[in-house]
Amino acid sequence: MSRDKGKIHSITIIGCGTIGVSWAAYFLAQGLDVTAWDPSASARESFTARVALDMVALEAIPGEPTIASSQEQSVGEADLIVENAPEISELKRTLLCDLQNAAPVHAVIASSTSSLMHSDIAQDVGDPGRVVIAHPFNPPHLVPLIELYGPDPDVVQRLAAFYQEVGKQPVVMRREMIGHIANRLSSALWREALYLLQEGVASVEDIDRAVTAGPGLRWAIQGPFLTYHLGGGQGGIRHYLEHLGPSQQYRWASLGEPLMDDELQQQVVEGVESATQGHELEKLFAQRDAMLVALQKATRVKAKEEEPI
């Protein structure tokens, strides 16, 4: 991406796993050129077919990625490089340096890292301003959120404008934080879900249902702050805080801190296997993708019908 022109046509996907495949499907569906590289030959060979599978849910005219012959070649013409390599800081540190050294000067590198911070993984690159944390939410071809953080506000703003232009909903972080925003919120919820399981309060199936049949429905429409604003009835958030603020404090004091030991892991695996009995993973993926598309159609209708909040 040129800092002056801000136009992105050519995207390089580095790391062709779950996230690399999904991103490639999304960008191809947006009519952009996609080149890909992965050090694993089997990941490269199966890439095009896996991307085509993700494109089904997008109902887009299938386009094909170009598989590069080397990492260096893959970034030679890139405007934007989307890094989706394993979540290992030393690996990303070296990779980001290699990518920046081989890429055109104008190219920006967007790292999909789920938890790592810019100051950790981009500390050794020549121009850290051209590396941006750009964390998608899985699966990126169907979930619009992208969380951005970088030390050069100009580069971040231009990248945010690009993502918005291609239909994503960027959130720009004012400062970096391990796990960014959405994963911290998800982790807080999952920590408590694990604690409830460990304490024998309910089964995996019922804890999941307590989210999907309850607060999960509201969260697709309003985040935690607006949810509690309405929880205060006619008095809104002020009344909520006066009335139920102390109850939150009471609950917070009892939240668990489970240790992810072998026993808990075993309990989780057995609970999930029992909850998904008879359902193949492929079927669960397809069900999730179809519902994600339907949900977004519903919330888009709502956004058109009403004034944005």
Binding site for ligand NAD (CB under 6 A): 14-20, 38-40, 43, 84-87, 91, 95, 112-114, 135-136, 138
The CB-nearest residue to ligand NAD is 17
55 vs 81: CA distance, rounded Å: 20
- Widest CA span in the chain: 63
The smaller minimum CB distance to ligand NAD, of residues 45 and 199, is found at 45
Minimum CB distance to ligand NAD, residue 208 (Å): 17
Instruction: Count Cβ neighbours within 10 Å for each residue of 209-221 and write b for 16 or more, e otherwise.
Output: eeeeeeeeeeeee
β-partners of residue 11 are 34, 80
CB of 46 to ligand NAD, least distance (A): 10
Task: Give whichever of 88 and 290 is closer to ligand NAD, judged by the CB atom.
Answer: 88
Q: Quote the CA–CA distance of 117 and 289 in Å, as a whole number.
A: 29
What does residue 83 show for φ and ψ, rounded to 5 degrees?
-90, 120
Find out whether 290 and 57 touch, Cβ atoms under 8 Å.
Answer: yes
* Cβ nearer to ligand NAD, comparing 95 with 142: 95
Nearer to ligand NAD, 40 or 222 (CB): 40
In whole angstroms, the minimum distance from the beta carbon of 153 to ligand NAD comes to 23
Instruction: Give least dist CB 292 to ligand NAD, A.
Output: 14
What is residue 34's three-state secondary structure?
A: strand
**Residue 242 to residue 231: CA distance in whole angstroms:** 12
| CB of residue 98 to ligand NAD, shortest distance in Å | 9
Compare residues 14 and 80 and give the one whose CB is closer to ligand NAD: 14
Nearer to ligand NAD by C-beta: 180 or 229? 180
Nearer to ligand NAD, 18 or 73 (CB): 18
Smallest distance from the beta carbon of 30 to ligand NAD, in angstroms?
19
By DSSP bridging, strand 33-37 and strand 66-67 are: parallel
Minimal distance in Å, beta carbon 10 to ligand NAD? Answer: 18
Q: Spell out the long-range contacts of 23-27 with Cβ–Cβ below 8 A and sequence spacing 24 or more.
A: 23/82, 23/84, 23/112, 23/136, 23/140, 23/141, 24/51, 24/54, 24/65, 25/51, 25/52, 25/54, 25/55, 25/58, 25/60, 25/141, 26/54, 26/58, 26/140, 26/141, 26/166, 27/166
Please, what's the b/e burial string for 267-281 (b: 16 or more CB within 10 A of its CB; e: otherwise)?
bbeebeeeeeeeeee
